[in-house]
Every structure is written in C-alpha cells, then in structure tokens.
Structure 1
C-alpha cells in the first residue's frame, strides 16, 4: 500500500468496478479520467508488481491516408493521371512521351516511372517507337483500386482485413515503408489489451476500497515548510534501490563500418580510390543497357536530373539509332 502511486490506486479501483468485463486501456481511461501517458505508466507499474495481468491481447492493422494520399484524392493518383493523359493523347492523335507527362502533370519522375511500369504490365498502355506512350483502351485494375481506396479511407481509418483481397493487395503495395515515404496509405499496428486483477491485486484493491486513497505529497515545497503544513501531510516514499538508467556510449554506424571494410579490402587488392567530377549520362548508364523506364534505378534518389546540361556529349551514330530501336521493341 505504501508503495502505491496515486495513479496506480485509481487503476486498481477502476478494475474492481468491472470484474466481469476486463476493460481495455480506452475503457480505463474513460473510467479513471487519466491522461493516456499517466494511464500507461500506471498500468506498466502494476504489471511489474504483479497486481494486474493481461487478460487478452488482440492485434489489428489499421489503414489510413497519408498527406500524399489526401493530395492524390484531390488531384488523382499518378497512375490515374498517366492513364488519363494517354487516353486523351489517343483521342487527339498527339504523340505522348514520359517527358510530356512529367511536364504536363508536374509529377515526380519516380512517380511517372512507377505508374508507366504498372500500366504497361496490365496492358493498359504500350510504349511504341520513339518512347511514345499509347493507350490500348483497357482499364487498369490498379488505378480503379487506387480510386476506390482513396474514397473509402477519405472518410476515416479502417481495419486492413475489412477490405477485399484485391484492394488489400494494392493498399499494402502502396503503403508507407521504410525508405519510401511518398505513398498514399499508411498501415499501423494497433494492439488492444484487456486487464484483470491478480489475487494480490484483488487484496490491495479491497483494502483501498475500505480505507480510501490517502492524499500524498510528492514534493516538499517552500510553502509547506513556511506554513508548517508538512506536519500533517503524507509524503510518498521513494525507492532509492533502483538502478540508474544505463548510458549507451556512441559508436560508428554498422553501415559505415561495412563501407570502410569494403574499401579497405579493395585498396589492399590494388584498387585505387578516386574522387572527381566524372558523371555519366542517362543514355550510357541506362538506355544503352536497355534498362526499363520504370526500373527503380531511374528514380530521383539514384539519378541527378540536370535542367540545362552543358557537358553532356552528343551521342554518336549508330549507337543512338540502335538503342532507340531496341527500346521501342522491348
């Protein structure tokens, strides 16, 4: 009893009022009036003292829109805009390239590449000679699923399992992941636990119900000393036997250590580390290797996009024609 914090006492008394239906954290917050941070601390303390136990634990995956998703809802997702641009170009007979789409729709190169790759895979568009995009007239299952998900999640969060499999697959594919924050959806894991009193906790709770919760003072203030009120107050006991927090010393990042090790091995084999301004163009780095337009290596994270290049050399023939014909037939 003497070691109980007032917050712990509130939780114990709340649990005695719901013996038949073990409450969750949300229900305890409503019955105790505690802030989430206060309730979490009290519950963890009581668990450590074995005065309460976890009755049940469920895990739910909750889907919601990110700020990018809100933007896609208002202005449509890149895959929808690329497909719409291809259909519009087909109706007007205009040639449409990836650069045209980027300029017209003001989309990130990575978003356009990803959308083009998906649409081509689904047979909704074709990439013809000259790198032009043509609509096949087919619908895109991904674009339709994206619009449906944006509309449903715009009204609020939903459990992932409540979506049918096709929508769930698209949602998971376009959810925020580590290293890729530009996605319209977020999936969070929400753990719900319910709690019950242990036999020891039941005894303490019954004693609290009989004797009541005494008001405790946690800090001796100048006012208490000056007025002499400290003589009638009950001070909370402090545990001085607890270990101090562990301080972890700084160290090199594992990836930095790995890079240094690789460099050391290569240098020891006779290689030389070179530094300079050598930058190769997209043609030789990607196009000449017949790299698909939607390949991840073409993303903005791996490529420098120069608006007005001044040092790139003109691509000589027959290389330009051969690569262009190869890309058109791919």
Structure 2
C-alpha cells in the first residue's frame, strides 16, 4: 500500500497522533506527552496507539511499569472509621485506664470487627510489644506506641483521594503498604498496588514518511456525511471525507441451533420411543 492510500485509510485519531509526532522536536514521545499534546481521552489515545502499532507506523522504544498505590473501598472506610489495628489499640488503652479485663470477644462485640481483622491486629500489636496476652486470654496494653498504627493512619490520610507512586514512600511505609495490599484470596485490605505502564514511542520508517506526507498536505477535518449545509456554502471542499470500502468482510451471521446436549437427549428419546 502506498503512503497516500495508507493515509486515506487512517482514522482521525490516528491522524492526530501521527501529526503530533510530525510537529514534535523530539523523535521519541511518552504516552503522557501525547495525551497532553493531542488532548485525547486516555481510551482514545490507547486505541490510536494500538492501531498505529498494528499498522507498523509506530514502534515501542521503551516500556516501563510504575507501581501506583491507591485506597480500596476498605481503605476509604478505614480512613473514615479508623483501621482495625487503630481501633483495637484504642480499646486496649481505654481498658487499661479503667482497669477492666478485655478479651478478644469483647473487642469483636464492641467494634463490630471480623475475627480475622481482630486476630491480625492483635498479632501485629503483640509482635511490636504494644499488647500482651495475659492469664485467661485477656489483652493488656503495655503503653507503648504502635509504629504500624501510626504509619497506617499517615498512609490513609496521604492516599485519601490521591493515588501516589510507591517509590515516593519511605521504606517503613512501603513495608506497611505491602503487608496490607490486596492479594489473591484476601481482598479486604486497605491498599491496592497497580502498575501504570508508560510507553516511549517513536515513528517507524513508514511512520516517518506518513507523518511527513501529512505535514505537507495538511490535515482537514474529516466528515462522514455530506449535508445540505456543506453543499450550500461550499465548505465541503475543505473537508476530508471518510472513505468507504466494499472489500471488507461483512459481519458473520451465526444461525440459531440446538444445544449439543439437547440434540443428544432428543436422539436418545427418539431411539427409546421407536
């Protein structure tokens, strides 16, 4: 396919991305740069890039994955009503002030927490030396502060409505994030870590030719329907009409048919009856 025919077959989104490369001073552009320059929605930009990659007009120079941390629905709930480790610690300190004996069942009934949430919080606080399990299975506060509870509260405040890169946090906070991030089989966690993939793209040899051709001929607005207004004022001359082709395959029509198991049952029934 020659360059002119190739350009005529391009979607307006593809034309916009190619034109951006043609006018850029840098041969390599990040996806964020393309989003800012083209003004396209993320879904539109993603489609255009995938189409251009499939047509070998763009190539990926580098690809990096950046871990992004955000709050889950559980995390938002913890932000408003405090996390289990904070609530367990608060109950234990209140009991220490009043001298009341405190059991795990007392915490569950008072705070309305799941058994796994209570046991996980107590295990962490016990490991830090903040809580003790004394005779009779009662819980006693040692009066020490909990680094995990303090870090958890700070993370919930920082991430509330504002996802951040994982590398922006110090090691102590990253450890808490990893310990309380959503994992397979354990979705009730406050943090989610997702990889944000960033691609550095550049034009292929064919892409360079196409971008240069677009730069020379300019990009007219593409329309798909010739309206009376366009004919009346003659503005159709400056428009680029979307081409149609009859060489494309028509959608395959799948006829209705019986389910194979239904056919088997009918065949067995017919044999038995006959």
For the criterion TM > 0.5, the same-fold answer is yes
Task: Select which of 129, 142, 149 maps to 2:155.
Answer: 149
Pair 1:237–1:243, CA change in 2 (3 A)? closer
Task: Select which of 141, 148, 173 maps to 1:135.
Answer: 141
- Report how many residues are paired: 241
Residue number in structure 2 paired with 1:67? 73
Pair 1:152–1:87, CA change in 2 (3 A)? same
Residue number in structure 2 paired with 1:81? 87
Pair 1:186–1:132, CA change in 2 (3 A)? same
- Is 1:236 equivalent to 2:252 in the alignment? no
Gapped regions of structure 1 (runs ≥ 5):
248-330
Q: 2:223–2:241: 8 Å Cα contact kept in structure 1?
A: yes
Pairwise CA distance, 1:112: 0.9
Secondary structure of the structure 2 residue equivalent to 1:23: strand
User: Counterparts of 1:95-244 in structure 2 under 5 Å?
Assistant: 95-154=101-160, 156-218=162-224, 234-238=241-245, 240=247
Q: 1:19–1:196: 8 Å Cα contact kept in structure 2?
A: no
Pair 1:53–1:243, CA change in 2 (3 A)? farther
Q: 1:22–1:195: 8 Å Cα contact kept in structure 2?
A: yes
Q: Using CA pairs under 8 Å that are at least 6 residues apart, name the structure with larger relative contact order, 1 or 2.
A: 2
Pairwise CA distance, 1:22: 2.7
What is the CA–CA distance in structure 1 between the aligned matches of 2:87 and 2:221, rounded to whole Å? 64
Pair 1:239–1:170, CA change in 2 (3 A)? farther
Over residues 216-247 of structure 1, what are the superposed CA-to-partner deviations in whole Å (9 max), with x where a residue is unaligned? 555x79x78xx9x9x988442448567989x9
What is the CA–CA distance in structure 2 between the aligned matches of 1:29 and 1:242, rounded to whole Å? 33
Over residues 152-178 of structure 1, what are the superposed CA-to-partner deviations in whole Å (9 max), with x where a residue is unaligned? 223622211121212111111101223
What is the CA–CA distance in structure 1 between the aligned matches of 2:211 and 2:157, rounded to whole Å? 49
What is the CA–CA distance in structure 2 between the aligned matches of 1:3 and 1:97, rounded to whole Å? 72
Over residues 112-150 of structure 1, what are the superposed CA-to-partner deviations in whole Å (9 max), with x where a residue is unaligned? 111112112222212222221111223322222212222
What is the CA–CA distance in structure 1 between the aligned matches of 2:102 and 2:221, rounded to whole Å? 76
Q: 2:69–2:193: 8 Å Cα contact kept in structure 1?
A: yes
What is the CA–CA distance in structure 1 between the aligned matches of 2:112 and 2:137, rounded to whole Å? 19
Residue number in structure 2 paired with 1:30? 36
Pair 1:9–1:148, CA change in 2 (3 A)? same
Pairwise CA distance, 1:105: 1.6
Pairwise CA RMSD: 2.8
Q: 1:3–1:237: 8 Å Cα contact kept in structure 2?
A: no
Pairwise CA distance, 1:3: 2.1
Length-normalised TM-score, structure 1: 0.65
What is the CA–CA distance in structure 1 between the aligned matches of 2:50 and 2:128, rounded to whole Å? 51
- Is 1:93 equivalent to 2:77 in the alignment? no
Over residues 197-216 of structure 1, what are the superposed CA-to-partner deviations in whole Å (9 max), with x where a residue is unaligned? 22211111111112223555
- The structure whose residues are more often helix, as a share, is 2
Pair 1:144–1:129, CA change in 2 (3 A)? same
User: Counterparts of 1:255-294 in structure 2 under 5 Å?
Assistant: none
Q: 1:217–1:236: 8 Å Cα contact kept in structure 2?
A: no
Pair 1:203–1:121, CA change in 2 (3 A)? same
What is the CA–CA distance in structure 2 between the aligned matches of 1:215 and 1:105, rounded to whole Å? 62
Gapped regions of structure 2 (runs ≥ 5):
1-6, 255-274
Residue number in structure 2 paired with 1:42? 48
